[in-house]
Structure 1
Amino acid sequence: MESDATTNENLNLYEKAENYTKTSLELLKLKAVSAAADVLSTLTSKIAVGAVVAFFTLFLNIGISLWIGKVLGEYYYGFFIIALFYLIVAIVMLKTQHKIIKTPIGNMIISSILKETKKDETKADLN
Structure 2
Amino acid sequence: METNATTNENLNMYEKAENYTKTSLELIKLKTVSATADVLSTLTSRIAVGAVVAFFTLFLNIGLSLWIGKELGEYYYGFFALAVFYLLVAVILHKTQHKLIKTPIGNMIVSSILKESKN
C-alpha separation between the residues in 2 aligned to 1:84 and 1:27?
54
Match for 1:96: what amino acid?
Answer: T
Deviation at 1:66, TM superposition (A): 0.2
CA distance in 1 between counterparts of 2:19 and 2:84 reads 64
- Opposite residue 60 of structure 2, the aligned amino acid is L
Give the C-alpha shift of residue 83 in structure 1: 0.6
Which consecutive residues of structure 1, in runs of 5 or more, have no partner in the other structure? Answer: 121-127
Q: Detail structure 1 runs of 4+ shifted over 4 Å in the superposition.
A: none
**Partner amino acid for 1:77?**
Y
Question: Cα offset for 1:93?
Answer: 0.3
**TM-score, with length taken from structure 1:** 0.92
Q: Could you state the TM-score of these two structures normalised by the residue count of structure 2?
A: 0.98
Structure 1 distance, partners of 2:94, 2:67, is 29
For residues 70 and 114 of structure 2, the distance between their equivalents in structure 1, rounded to whole angstroms, comes to: 53
Q: How many residues align?
A: 119
The 5 A counterparts of 1:1-127 are 1-118=1-118, 120=119
Letter in 1 for 2:88: I
The percent identity for this pair of structures is 82
In the TM superposition, what whole-angstrom CA distance separates every residue of 1:4-45 from its partner, at most 9, and x where no partner exists? 111011011001101100110110011011011101100110
Q: 1:59 deviation in Å? A: 0.1
TM superposition shift of 1:54: 0.3
Q: CA deviation at 1:115?
A: 1.1
Amino acid at match of 1:89: V
How many Å separate the matches in 1 of 2:76 and 2:20?
70
